[in-house]
């Protein structure tokens, strides 16, 4: 009976066959020594893309007690990719796998080519991995295998993102403030001075928000983020977010509208994180929206959850949809791609809610933030 797949073949080798392959490579003393002296994580995959052998660094980096716990798994299953458990066929068989660098590199190696690609993985504990993988075709005892090498470049990607924000966005904002301040010094028109003061104030607030955003993200990824919970009114926080971005440059010639039937709901959560998530959703929507169009905010109570939504008319291309919440993935250039990833991290890992989206040509794009009325991690909140 064949197993359904949306991409790579789903069939697997039998446990007996896997064990035979593992024993065969284990007896190859020279190969074993070569693999274990390298500073790269390396696994040998059979034609079903299952791990049959790996060096010590591979299972040690993955926190496995020994190689036996990884034998028979596919790479995505070994690193706990969130998509590896979404289909009966496992790693490589979902629609998300079509844009995965790891499985595509393996498939290319199976066609006879050495393939090197980058791979972004969101793990089942809401973590994120940025990997550089190299898949090399290899034949042993007349059977095809793939030598699969992994280099963790997560720190490099984080550094690029941080440098992009601090050395580009923040310096640009600071430069703009500095330039306006210089003009303000020589301006004598009171009305012009008042207008410039408002622009400088908006620029300063934007600068502070960017710095706070990075600090929050760093704390969240390090597991050091502590929730500061209080009672929140849904309409008040929507109005707060709308007012912040109404004067932002991304809102030029665009409009923000809060649905007239949006519901006022009181709930307990971290106000800063909720505002940050909704702010990112609104900013992304405004960036995608055409001049003259409107981004719509809404809130409804559904069962025991509060469902916020941010809608715009533009549809997201399918290939981008499949990678949207991966860290470092962005349509905005090198070092970006933190916003949508942070929505998931803050909204699901810390606020115990759900973050997702729906994007179709007929309805446009809507991002959702669904939160429990009471976050179990908030404890007693006055």
Placement of tokens 């498939």 in the chain: 107
Angle at 354 (CA atoms; ends 348, 360), nearest 5 degrees: 130
Instruction: Provide the whole-model pTM.
Output: 0.71
Contact 371, 300 (CB under 8 A): no
Pick from 187, 172, 130: which is nearest to 153 by CA?
A: 130
Nearest to 53 by CA among 79, 77, 19: 19
Measured distance CA(242)–CA(258) in Å, rounded? 8
Cβ-proximal residues to 272 (8 Å cutoff; 6+ apart), any chain: 216, 228
Cα 35 from Cα 58, distance rounded (Å): 10
For residue 336, the model assigns a pLDDT of 43
Burial class of residue 15 (count of CB atoms within 10 Å of its CB; 0-12, 13-18, 19+): exposed
d(C-alpha 188, C-alpha 180), whole Å: 14
Per-residue pLDDT of the chain (382 residues; tens, 9 = 90+): 678 999 999 999 999 999 999 999 999 988 889 998 999 999 999 999 999 999 999 999 998 888 899 999 999 999 999 999 999 999 999 999 999 999 999 999 999 999 999 998 989 987 888 999 999 999 999 999 999 999 999 888 777 766 666 666 677 677 777 777 877 778 788 888 888 888 788 778 777 877 887 788 788 878 888 898 989 999 999 999 998 888 778 899 999 999 999 999 999 999 989 998 999 899 999 999 999 999 999 999 988 899 999 999 999 998 888 888 776 655 554 444 467 888 888 999 899 999 999 999 999 999 999 999 877 777 544 4
With a CB cutoff of 8 Å and minimum separation 6, the contacts of 72 are 12, 13, 15, 18, 50, 51, 52
* pLDDT value at residue 220: 84
Cβ 51 vs Cβ 78: under 8 Å:
yes
Residue 25 · residue 53 · CB < 8 Å: yes
Separation between Cα atoms, residue 370 and residue 60, nearest integer Å: 37
Q: Could you give all domains of the chain from N- to C-terminal order, each with its CATH number?
A: 15-152 (3.30.450.20), 155-225 (1.10.287), 227-382 (3.30.565.10)
Which pLDDT belongs to residue 332?
Answer: 54
CA distances from 65 to 57, 70, 262, 355 (A): 11, 9, 52, 34
User: Residue 324: is it exposed, middle or buried by C-beta count within 10 angstroms (0-12/13-18/19+)?
Assistant: buried
Q: Quote the DSSP letter at residue 221.
A: H
CA pair distance 346, 353, nearest whole angstrom: 9
In which residue are the tokens 């990678």 written?
Answer: 323
Closest CA to 3 of 70, 92, 118, 116: 92
Q: Please calculate the CA angle 140-88-70 and round it to the nearest 5 degrees.
A: 45
DSSP H or E stretch at residue 299: strand 294-302
Measured CA to CA, the distance from residue 144 to residue 154 in angstroms comes to 31
């Amino acid at each position: 009976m064949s197993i359904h797949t949306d991409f790579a073949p789903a069939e697997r080798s039998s446990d007996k066959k896997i064990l035979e392959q593992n024993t065969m490579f284990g007896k190859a003393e020279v190969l074993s020594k070569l693999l274990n002296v390298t500073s790269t994580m390396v696994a040998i995959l059979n034609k079903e893309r299952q791990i049959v052998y790996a060096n010590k660094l591979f299972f040690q980096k993955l926190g496995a007690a020994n190689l036996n716990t990884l034998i028979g798994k596919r790479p995505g299953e070994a690193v706990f990719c969130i998509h590896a458990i979404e289909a009966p066929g496992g790693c490589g068989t979902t629609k998300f796998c079509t844009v995965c660098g790891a499985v595509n590199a393996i498939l290319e190696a199976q066609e006879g080519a050495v393939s090197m690609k980058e791979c972004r993985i969101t793990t089942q504990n809401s973590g994120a991995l940025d990997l550089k993988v190299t898949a090399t075709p290899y034949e042993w005892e007349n059977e095809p295998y793939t030598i699969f090498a992994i280099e963790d470049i997560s720190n490099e990607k984080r550094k690029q993102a941080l440098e992009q924000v601090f050395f580009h966005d923040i310096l640009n904002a600071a430069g703009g403030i500095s330039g306006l301040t210089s003009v303000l010094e020589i301006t004598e028109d009171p009305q012009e001075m008042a207008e410039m003061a408002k622009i400088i104030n908006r620029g300063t607030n934007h600068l502070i928000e960017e710095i706070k955003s990075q600090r929050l993200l760093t704390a969240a990824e390090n597991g050091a983020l502590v929730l500061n919970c209080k009672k929140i009114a849904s309409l008040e926080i929507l109005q707060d977010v709308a007012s912040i971005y109404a004067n932002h440059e991304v809102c030029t010639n665009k409009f923000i509208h809060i649905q007239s039937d949006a519901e006022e709901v009181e709930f307990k959560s971290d106000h800063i994180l909720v505002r940050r998530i909704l702010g990112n959703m609104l900013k992304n929507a405004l960036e995608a929206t055409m001049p003259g169009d409107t981004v719509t905010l809404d809130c409804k109570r559904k069962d025991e959850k509060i469902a916020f939504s941010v809608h715009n008319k533009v549809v997201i291309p399918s290939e981008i949809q499949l990678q949207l919440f991966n860290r470092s993935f962005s349509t905005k250039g090198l070092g970006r791609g933190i916003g949508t990833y942070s929505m998931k991290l803050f909204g699901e890992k810390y606020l115990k809610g759900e973050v997702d989206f729906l994007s179709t040509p007929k309805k446009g794009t809507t991002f959702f933030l669904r939160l429990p009325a009471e976050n179990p991690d908030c404890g007693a909140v006055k």
